[in-house]
Amino acid sequence: MPDASGPVATDLPPAVPLERRGTNRRVSTLLRRILLVNMLPPFLLGATLLYLDQYQNGLLAAEVQGLRTQARIYANGIAEAGVRIQDDRATLLPEVARPLLRRLTEPSPGTQAKLFDNNGLLVADSRVREGPGGAIVTEPLQPPEQPGPMASLLSRAYEMVLEWFPRPRVHGPAVVVDETPGAASFDWQPDLGPDRREELRLALEGGVNPYVRRTSDGRLLVSVAEPARRANQPVGIVLLTREAREVDQRVMEIRGSVLVLFAMALVLTVALSIYLARTLASPMLELAASAASMRAGKGRGGSVPAPLMERQDEIGILARALQSGTNALWARVDANERFAADVAHELRNPLTSVRSAIETLRRVENPEQQKRLLAIIAEDAVRMDRLIGDISDSSRVDAELSRSVAEPVDVAPILSTLVELHGATRGENDPVMEIDAPAKLVVRGVEGRLVQVFRNLLGNAVSFSPSNGVVRVRARLTGAMAEISVEDEGPGIPEAKLEGIFDRFYTERPSGERFGQHSGLGLSISRQIVEGLGGRIMAENRRNADGSIAGARFVVRLPVT
């Protein structure tokens, strides 16, 4: 019967301490990173609040254009109804222009109009009228609209934050807003007068630039000046000032809308981040705790929580892989323990024999008996040397295969060479080897270890074959695997031992073979090599037509390139 063994344990690397930093924090590092990444878009949305200047500039430009049109209408009305033509010369009539200017301004609350003559002197003011007895009455303007507490808070916060960021460059014609604390209110007027002829000339030609300012009481005021002309002659200048409340209202509405969207996006982002963290960070912490439990030697089979293993996502794949690795690790630990016990048992037998022979040798004086005892000691020493060599080879297989890179190996010439070598050294009654293999059969493996596998199988087949029997070697390609079989005509394998023959130190040998010639590790090492290369090895019995056992067959399947 062939010798065999099970998987051999190699030395495991020292345990690596589990990194526990972050596992006891209320907010995991992964959650903070998820929040940081997911909150970036809402903050970018909120940052748009800081860059509404382009929108505000457009509103102010439209406000200036509308106010210019209104001032031009007022100027044309005064030029038509408040001017007298005499000797082709147009003369402004203040007593007519004053009530006319006031009537023109009445439909526009929050608007003040002033009329200057050609010398830059104030002629009329829409807020000023003559009362009973010639008294001058100044009509108050609408008080500035007081924002609510929330609007005031948002406005102050906006202004404070805005100071930290660079102002974006405004494309198109810019409207400059005077933000100085001393910006003039409705009482502003251009620098006109007899001593400023150039400014007056420009004003009469329509060259006064619009003046936009933010007053200390929060009003946004826009002033424009338009000349009044009659028969191509300038008769005065109309200065129109209006509070641009709609501009502030629209900008505040945009800010409010963006803030609402920002708040909603922020809440949704935090909720989704927490959900994502619970599905990622929490399971990973559970897996880390499971790994720590495994390292501490707790929970052989169920270290990983079952809910994690039942998940169908990447976390589930990781959990199942961790549990599988744990099972394999414990299996390796158990195998090492069994291997150590088996080694101790196998070494104890020859050591016991040597000790008994030495104790007997001390008491025996007969030279013949001494020679026999010395021969026993020598045989046991050879046996122990062979056993220790096979044990060492078995313990190195896994580590060697993990370091070696599988390369294309043509097994056809290897099998042919082994068969030819047997034929060249075959004794008179030794079995004959026959081979049936293609000219080329390339697999992925390590050549030296494959040679070791095939030599073990052929050696076992020869040792169990009868005199002048036949050992057949067949190789063929089956799909993505190469199949190599070795058949003998021996007594076969007990059905109960078809798997057990691959266990370590299985040494049921043919009758007549001297004890101690084999270590019982040959097939165990062969299985280690084949499985380490991604293949499979199995044993079965050959049967005759009547169902009787005709011999044993070992089949090796290896992946092809």
Of 438, 462, 450, give the one whose Cα is nearest residue 526.
Answer: 450
CA–CA separation, 546 vs 10, rounded Å? 45
Supply the pLDDT for residue 90.
Answer: 85
Using 50 as the pLDDT threshold, list the residues of the chain that sit under it.
Answer: 1-25, 134-135, 170, 172, 512-518
Supply the pLDDT for residue 145.
Answer: 65
> Would the pTM count as exceeding 0.75?
no
Supply the pLDDT for residue 1.
Answer: 42
Inter-axis angle of helices 29-47 and 245-295, nearest 10: 170
| Spatial contact of 230 and 89, defined as CB atoms under 8 Å apart | no
- 3-state DSSP call for residue 321? helix
pLDDT in tens, 381-393: 877 777 777 677 6
CA angle centred on 148, ends 144 and 150, rounded to 5°: 140
Supply the pLDDT for residue 17.
Answer: 44
CA–CA separation, 507 vs 504, rounded Å? 9
CA–CA separation, 309 vs 59, rounded Å? 61
| Spatial contact of 556 and 530, defined as CB atoms under 8 Å apart | yes
Supply the pLDDT for residue 35.
Answer: 72
